[in-house]
Amino acid sequence: MRRLLFVLLFFAVVAATAKESEQKRNVVFILLDNCGQEWWGCYGSEEGCTPHLDRLAREGVRVENCYAPPLCSPSRVTALTGRYLFRSGWVLHHDAALYGGGGLDPQREITFARLFRDAGFQTGIVGKWQINHLYEQPDALTRHGFNEALVWPGSVDWEKTDAGDRERFAQAIRDADVKTLGRITANIESRYWDPVLLRNGKRETHPGQFGPDLMQQFALDFLRRHRNRPFLLYYPMVLTHHQGAGRGPVPTPLNRDETRSKQALYADMVRYADRLVGDVAAELDRLGLRNNTVLFVAADNGSEGSFSARRNGRVVRGGGYKLTEPGGNVPLIVHAPGLVPGGRTMTLADFSDLLPTFCELAGVPVPAELAMDGFSFAGFLRGAAREPRRWIFNMYGEERVVRDARYKLYNDGRFYDLSRDPNEQQNLTEGALAERKRLQAVLDAMPPDAPPPFELRSLSAFSRRQKGK
C-alpha cells in the first residue's frame, strides 16, 4: 500500500510540474521597424536578405496576412494593448518621444508586459519604445510592466542644437510649423552609430559603437540571466528604420561604405536584422529554452515608399503610411520547436491578437473587464484548433479597412479582389455581393473613434493641422 501511495504521489507531482511548466511558457517578441513582406524570403522576396527568418518560418508557423496600422506608434499601441485604435483615440501617429504632449497612459491602457509581470514573470524591453517621452515620464516603462529596460529614448539631442532652439521648438509645435520642426528634429538622438540609450532610466552615450549591437547584447544577457524563471522579452528593434527626421538608411558593421545607394544600404540593414534574430534563436537553443519558449517575429508596418523589392516575380514598392497591402499587411512568424507544430501557415491575424495569444500560451490571466478586440490563436499554434478569424481589421486616421482571405473593403466603398488584383487597381462595382455584404457588416459594427487623450503630435499630424483636417 505504501509503495502504491508513493507511486501515485510521484505521478501527481510530475503531472503538477508539467502543468505548471506549460502554464509558465516564456515569450520572446521581436519586432522589426519598417520592413515589409517584400523583403522577407518566406513571403516570396527575391532579395536574399533573410535566411534566418526564412528558416524560422519553415520550421514554425507563418501568418500569410497580418494587419497592423501602417505607422510606428499606432502599430505598437495596438500590439501592446490588444485593442483597436478607435478605443484609445490614438488614430494617428503620435511621436511622444520627440514632441511630448502625452503618451501611453497606464491608467487608461494595460499592456501585455504588465499582465506578465503581475503574473510573476520577469519582463524586459530592449530597443524602441517611442510612445512615451522617457525624460518627461521617467517611470513610464516600469508602470507599463517592465522590470528591465535598455531603450533608445528617441528625443531631440539638445546638445546638438542651436541656442534658442528649445523655445523655437515649443513654438513650432503650437504653430504646427513643419519646416522648423523638421530642422530641429534632424538632431534626434542616434539609434545607430554613436547611440544614445537609456538603461533602466540612466542615460548612456556610446561613441564609436553600433546601437543594435548593444541592444542585442542586452537581449542575450537577459535570456541568460533569467533562463531558470519565467520571462517575457519584448525586443522592438530599431532596425530597419532610417535614421529619423527624413534622413536615410545607415551602413551596418557588415559594410561601412556610406557611398552605396540607399537601396543597398537598406538591404544591408535587413540582413543585419535577420542575423540578430538568428542569433537570438540560436541562444535560446544553447540555453535549452526552446522547449518552453515561444518566439514571435513581426514587423510593425511596411517599408518606406522610397524602397522596393522583388516579390514573387514583381516589384513591390514599400507602402508605409498607407493601408494598402504593402503598408499594413506585415510579416508574422511563430517558432517554438516541441510546442508549435511547424511547417504550417495561418491565413489571417492582426496585431490586436498578439496580447491574448501571448497570455494564453504563457498561462497569464487576462482581466475579464479588459475590453480587447483580439482573438487568441494559441489553439491553432498548438495544432488543436482552427483559425479563429474570418476577417481582419485595420485603420489609420479616418480610413478603415477589413479583409478576408480574398476580398478587401474600405470604409469609403472601395472593394478589391486581392487574389486577382494585389495592387488594388480594379475597384469591384459588380459581383461578390455576399462577400461585400459580410465585410460591410464588420465595418458597420465598429464603434466611432474615441476622442484622442491628447493632441496627437507628429509631422504627419502637424501637416494635417496645417491643411485644416
What confidence score (pLDDT) does residue 247 get? 81
Beta bridge partners of 177: none
What confidence score (pLDDT) does residue 458 get? 93
Q: What is the CA radius of gyration of the chain?
A: 22
Per-domain residue ranges for the chain? 25-153+194-397
Choose the CATH number for 25-153+194-397 among 3.80.10.10, 3.20.20.70, 3.40.720.10, 3.90.1300.10. Answer: 3.40.720.10
> Average pLDDT per run of 10 along the chain, which is 469 residues long?
46 42 81 98 98 98 98 97 97 96 96 98 98 98 98 96 96 95 95 98 98 98 98 98 85 95 97 98 97 97 96 96 97 96 98 98 95 96 96 97 98 98 95 97 98 93 80
What confidence score (pLDDT) does residue 469 get? 54
Residues 439, 271: Cα–Cα separation, whole Å = 38
Residues 459, 320: Cα–Cα separation, whole Å = 15
Give Cα separations from 3 to 8, 10, 13 (angstroms): 9, 10, 15
| Residue 29 near residue 354, CB atoms below 8 Å | yes
What confidence score (pLDDT) does residue 34 get? 97
| Residue 329 near residue 370, CB atoms below 8 Å | no
| Residue 409 near residue 391, CB atoms below 8 Å | no
| Alpha helical stretches, state H, 372-432 | 378-381
What confidence score (pLDDT) does residue 110 get? 97
In the structure grid, which three cell numbers stand for residue 285, read together?
537553443
Task: Output the pTM of the full model.
Answer: 0.94
- Secondary structure class of 99 (helix, strand, coil): helix
What confidence score (pLDDT) does residue 13 get? 39
Instruction: Kindly provide the b/e burial profile for residues 202-233, where b requires at least 16 CB atoms within 10 angstroms of the residue's own CB.
Output: eeeeeeeebbbebbbebbbebbeebbeebbbb
What confidence score (pLDDT) does residue 112 get? 98
